A and B are shown apart, each in its own frame.
Chain A
Amino acid sequence: MDGGFVTQRDVCVECGDCIEVCNSEAREMAGKEVTVEEVIREIEKDTVFYNQSGGGASFSGGEPLLQHEFLTEVLKECKEKNIHTVVDTTGLTSPQMLESISAFVDLFLFDLKTLDDAKHIEFTGVSNKQILENLRHLADSGKEVIVRIPVIPGFNDDPVQIRATGSFVSSLGNVREIHLLPYHVSGLEKYRRLGMKNEMHATHPPSADDLSVIVKELRKHVSSVCIGG
């Protein structure tokens, strides 16, 4: 109320009391604990809209498979209620885990950052080996999969990589669609609010022209390529 507030992150125990007492909503808690029933109740509120649009529930993150048990229960419940389900995943998980939810998932949105393993390790800290295997396994099993590529200038947007990616995706069993997610800067405000440093300040969103070159190349391999999604 007095024009600002101070955050001492080192003493914060995430009790949330500060949110309750502040009527002007200066603070919000990102995320909350919920039960399976609560999630299902929230999803079911919009049934009338799914009936019209063919929509349903999408599980995203972070990485939803990090909460594998909970996710499985919610997915099962959705399928019992005949609600369409989508899981948006990085693919960094065990084949068993993926296999165990697969029966309850109508569509996977599968992230593919780069085929270059060295680069993958450099930028994400992990190898893409398991990820690519998972993707191939999932696609070959006949599951519907859309591959989503974050287009990050200087990281994965050079013609060689794009061509390799296109050719890889076209070799997969059941993938007919690629979504490009162009790098954007709308998270800057969040960095500021969380007191974090923006390490991407030298990177700028790709231009429309750059994107159309990428789309053109990918369409040689996969029939449906769209920006956003």
Chain B
Amino acid sequence: MTERVKKLREQSVTAIPYLSAERALLMTEFYREGAFLSPPIRRAMAFKRIMENKEICINDGELIVGERGPAPKATSTFPELCCHTQEDLEILNSREKVWFRVSEETKKEFEEKVIPFWKGKTIREKIFEEMTEKWKEAYSAGIFTEFMEQRAPGHTVLDDKIYRKGMLGFKKDVDEALRLLDFIDDPEAHSKSEELKAMSIAIDAILILASRYADKAKALADLEHDPNRKSELLRVESVCRRVPANAPTNLWEALQYYWFVHLGVITELNPWDAFNPGRLDQHLYPFYKAGIEDGSLDRVKAEELLQCFWVKFNNQPAPPKVGVTAAESGTYTDFANINTGGLKPDGTDGVNELTHLILDVINEMRLVQPSSNIQLSRKNPDEFLKHACRVVREGRGQPSIFNADTIVEELLRQGKTVEDARNGGTSGCVETGAFGKESYILTGYFNLPKVLEITLHDGVDPRTGKKIGLESGDPSMFRSFEDLQKAFQIQLKYFIEIKLRGNNVIERLYAEHMPVPFLSILIDDCIKNGKDYNNGGARYNTNYIQGVGIGTITDSLTAIRHHVFSNKTMAMKDLLKMLSANFEGLEKQRLLFVNKTPKYGNDNDEADDIMRWVFDEFYSVVNGRTNTKGGVYRINMLPTTCHVYFGSVTGASADGRKAWMPLSEGISPVQGADRKGPTAVLKSAGKMDHVRTGGTLLNQKFTPQLLEGEKGIENLSHLVRSYFTMGGHHIQFNVVNAETLRAAQVNPEQHRDLIVRVAGYSDYFCDLSVALQDEIIARTEHQGF
């Protein structure tokens, strides 16, 4: 790492996150003028207002320039979506985790200008106003969450188009589309015209931003005494004069172009989940190769440029939520997830020299953002996987590992062309999309165990006593497990449809009031269609509902079938009493569920077949339902951190989980339920039909000793390849630290799955003597995690 990068990295890591009023004030001022404009033009003009007036910030030593706010980690708000109250600002300023400093001046500006203007005018308020009573009841009961109440629909990734075409080129495309509009026979011609004009304005806006950066670099160069820095600043100037107006001609320009585009997307609105450059290794490789060949670039310089680029992501924390509580701390991470490896559009191995360089960058930078993943195809060489495993071993959870072949299959199943599928990959956590061509919106998490809880109470939420579901029958009268399954199906369909109904309204609110002309320039075929990204302009328009708690619901249903219906050793009404009592004074019975019942995650078909049943039910009720943009709904199986919230509203469950405790996470087994080692977990998870999802998330934990040496790396890569042979979508490894091991000593039940390398052999941590546990903790600490 060069001195420059060390310094920039240090500045980024230590910069204090604070709330910046800049964007909110510019937005308020613009909207207050109230000009008579169509929504797309209004949004484009608002975007231009920001780009013309925002503070320009070039940090000392930077090669890649541009901040969303006035300084690193100065975080914008989006009052047109949702406006922070004074109370929110106080909490953000004072909470213990993921805090944002809020200055007295900012508080005053919010109080006097921002809050009074936006009251009653935000999308969030509009959404809650439009939702039905049933929706609100289900939402507050914690059946589902709603992504778009605080952030705009986003969730898309850029392909390689910007490396071939400058913004002036896109402007020509827009002009051409305008010229081709048929105002006689196309009833939508006028609205298309408004949208296309808006795109044109958005292009002007980003060009203004770039030229302001060029001017600033020039001004700084004029003042600079150090001749090296002076020439760098002049180089920055010339780069910003060239891109994004024109196609890039070298690596530096390519990175700077992407960064301006990134800033544009995350300034225009605040989209879930932050945009990313997609296959960075493949996109940049031609520039890298040309630079090496003509001698204008070497590996060290290329690495430095990439590292400067990495720092830019880390300088942009995710904007904080509104209506926050101290406990709900969220994250600074905005989920930009850089892809490497995978396939080329022609289906050949996509790994190149830059792939390895990027893995080195990930390893050296050790930043929270950007996140990174590898796309692993059976066509990729083992050395690529092993390199990634060596980075994983360092224990920062990056990169995560995706099955490129399964992802292609998922996209093909959804009807994408084979080239679009191979160009696809991952964004956010584990979400599949066709890069540069798809709007794939995550609409909310869905609490599967809560639906079972309501089924077990004949439509009533026992936490509140309110009847929020349908009357699907008194469970103590059920004669067979099938009766319970039928009742669950009824409730599941009912709540999914409540969610779908809400989604369709919210989708129209964004389509009509919050178009995103800048993002629309970047995603095919918005220009060609003259339609906004938020209004079905993209080539593919997919919506997702994300299922949470598959482990918990599987084990609960398995326990009920096993004890109540198969073995008939327990009456349903007794089981329900136990759950109502939260197992108070019934520890022995609770342990029957915990220890003496088949569980998902052990390659046991009795449990795993139930998992498949729940998956199929969830899939059938969601998959293929239409959205309002000409696309359809699909399912995902991922929780982010929502399994904690969903657990906190869900009472005791028949898997032995106590009330309000977290649900199982991703498609992982219930915490501590897998007792047969990692291969059994992978076998169970591999029984899910991943191809019918747009992403599943599997976490595995290892202690560093298990991954020691070349043998450890080989074992890890065999494990990955095996899981992917079974069709698994994603796996990520947490290399655990001493703290986790200590937690396991205190609370073994939650950590039964933790395997440690003891001495030439491995064993379950919880089965070791305390003395040996202590020794392993000491060894783990010694390794510096």
Binding site for B on A (CB under 8 A): 1, 23-25, 45-46, 48-49, 51-53, 55, 181-182, 184-186, 188-189, 192, 205, 227-229
The answer, among B587, B714, B769, for a CB contact under 8 Å with A188, is: B769
Shortest Cβ distance from residue A175 to the other chain B in the assembled complex, whole angstroms: 19
B760-A23 in contact (CB<8A): no
Q: How far is the CB of A59 from chain B (nearest CB, A)?
A: 16
B680 surroundings in chain A (CB, below 8 A):
45
Produce 1/0 per residue, B584-608, CB < 8 A to A. 0001111110111000000100000
A181: contacting residue among B591, B726, B760, CB under 8 A: B760
Name the A residues within 8 Å of B587 (CB-CB): 1, 24
Instruction: For A45, give its contact among B683, B718, B758, B772 (CB under 8 Å).
Output: B683
Task: Identify the closest chain A residue to B757 (Cβ).
Answer: A228
B603 surroundings in chain A (CB, below 8 A): 45
Q: Within residues 700 to 740 of chain B, which ones have a CB less than 8 A from any CB in chain A?
A: 714-715, 718-719, 721-722, 725-726
Are A49 and B679 interface neighbours, CB within 8 A? Answer: yes
Question: Closest B-chain residue to A45, C-beta based?
Answer: B603
Contact (Cβ within 8 A) B595 A24:
yes
Interface membership of chain B positions 742-785, coded 1 if the CB is closer than 8 angstroms to chain A and 0 otherwise: 00000000000000001110010000110110000000000000
Shortest distance from the beta carbon of A8 to any chain B beta carbon, whole Å: 22
Chain B residues with CB below 8 A from A189, complex form: 768-769, 772
Q: Give A189's nearest chain B residue, CB to CB.
A: B769
B588, A186: Cβ atoms closer than 8 Å: no
Q: Which residue of B lies closest to A55 (CB)?
A: B718
CB B741 to nearest CB in A, in angstroms, measures 16
- For B724, the closest partner residue in chain A by CB is A52
Interface contact B722-A52, CB-CB below 8 Å: yes
Q: Which residues of A contact B679 (CB under 8 A)?
A: 45-46, 49
Q: B596 to chain A: which residues have CB within 8 Å?
A: 23
For B714, what are the chain A residues with a Cβ–Cβ distance below 8 Å?
A: 53
Contact B760 A229 (CB under 8 A): yes
Would you call A192 and B589 a contact (CB within 8 A)?
A: no
- Looking across the interface, which residue of chain B has its beta carbon closest to that of A47? B722
CA distance A108 to B362 in the complex (A): 43
Q: In the bound complex, do residue B772 and residue A52 qualify as a contact, i.e. CB atoms below 8 Å apart? A: no
When distances are taken between beta carbons in the complex, the residues of chain B under 8 Å from A192 are 769
CA gap between A120 and B686 in the complex, in Å: 49
Give the complex CA separation of A227 and B680 in angstroms.
28
A23–B592 CB distance below 8 A: yes
Number of A-B residue pairs, CB cutoff 8 Å, is 68
- In the assembled complex, how far is the CB of residue B457 from the closest CB belonging to chain A, in whole angstroms? 26
B595 and A52 contacting across the interface, CB-CB below 8 Å: no
Chain B 551-609 interface residues, beta-carbon cutoff 8 Å to A: 587-592, 594-596, 603
Which among A25, A49, A229 has the greatest number of chain B C-beta atoms within 10 A? A49
Question: Which residues of B sit under 8 angstroms from A52, Cβ to Cβ?
Answer: 718-719, 721-722, 725
Chain B contributes a number of interface residues (CB within 8 A of A) equal to: 30
Interface residues of B in 666-716 (CB under 8 A from A): 679-680, 683, 686, 714-715
Interface residues of B, dominant DSSP: helix
Interface residue from B591, B686, B718, B725 paired with A23 (Cβ < 8 Å): B591
Known: A23-B589, A24-B595. A188 touches B771 (CB 8 A): yes
Given A48, A49, A186, A205, which contacts B768 in the complex, CB threshold below 8 Å? A186
In Å, the complex CA distance between A188 and B759 comes to: 14
Give the Cβ gap from A83 to chain B, nearest Cβ, in Å: 15
Residues of A within 8 A of B722 (CB): 48-49, 51-53
> Which residues of B have CB within 8 Å of A48?
683, 686, 722, 725-726
Return chain B residues, CB-CB under 8 Å to A23.
588-592, 594-596
CA distance A23 to B686 in the complex (A): 29
**Closest A residue by C-beta to B763:** A186
CA distance A192 to B589 in the complex (A): 29
Most interface-central of A52, A53, A55, A192 (chain B CB within 10 A): A52
**From B594, which residue of chain A is reached at the shortest CB distance?**
A23
Q: How far apart are A200's CB and chain B's nearest CB, in angstroms? A: 15
Query: Within the complex, what minimum Cβ distance (angstroms) separates B523 from chain A?
Result: 38
- Kindly report which residue of chain B lies nearest to residue A1, judged by CB atoms: B588
Smallest CB-CB A-B distances: 10 pairs: A228-B760, A189-B769, A23-B591, A53-B718, A184-B759, A52-B718, A23-B592, A52-B721, A52-B722, A49-B722
Bound-state Cα–Cα, A52 to B718, Å:
6
Q: Which residues of A contact B718 (CB under 8 A)?
A: 49, 52-53, 55
Kindly list 19 other residue pairs between chains A and B, CB separation below 8 angstroms, not including A24-B587, A181-B760.
A1-B587, A23-B591, A24-B595, A25-B595, A45-B680, A46-B679, A49-B679, A49-B719, A51-B722, A52-B719, A52-B721, A52-B722, A53-B714, A182-B760, A184-B759, A185-B772, A188-B771, A189-B769, A205-B759
Given A23-B588, A52-B725, A53-B715; A186-B595 close (CB under 8 Å): no
A-B CB contact pairs (8 Å), 5 listed: A48-B725, A49-B679, A49-B722, A185-B772, A228-B759
Chain A residues with Cβ below 8 Å from B594 are 23
Which residue of A45, A46, A51, A182 contacts B725 across the interface (Cβ within 8 Å)?
A51
CA distance A188 to B760 in the complex (A): 16
Residue in chain A with minimal CB distance to B725: A48
Q: A52-B718, A53-B718 are in contact. Are A182 and B759 (CB under 8 A)?
A: yes
In the complex, A1 Cα to B714 Cα: how many Å? 43
Q: A227–B760 contact, CB under 8 A?
A: yes
What A residues does B758 contact at CB under 8 A? 184, 186
Chain B residues near A186 (CB, 8 Å)? 758-759, 763, 768-769, 772
Residues of A within 8 A of B772 (CB): 185-186, 188-189
CB A215 to nearest CB in B, in angstroms, measures: 14
Contact with A along B168-191 (1 / 0, CB 8 A): 000000000000000000000000
- Determine the chain A residues whose CB is within 8 A of the CB of B759 once the complex forms: 182, 184, 186, 205, 228
Q: Which residue of A lies closest to B769 (CB)?
A: A189
Closest to A183 in B: B759
Residue numbers in A under 8 Å from B592 (CB-CB): 23
Cα-based distance from A228 to B712 in the complex (angstroms): 13
Task: For residue A206, give the distance in angstroms from its CB to the closest CB of chain B.
Answer: 11
A24 to B721, CA, bound (A): 36
* Distance A45 CA – B679 CA, assembled complex (angstroms): 9
Q: How far is the CB of A22 from chain B (nearest CB, A)?
A: 8
Question: Which of B603, B680, B726, B759 has the most A CB atoms < 10 Å from its CB?
Answer: B759
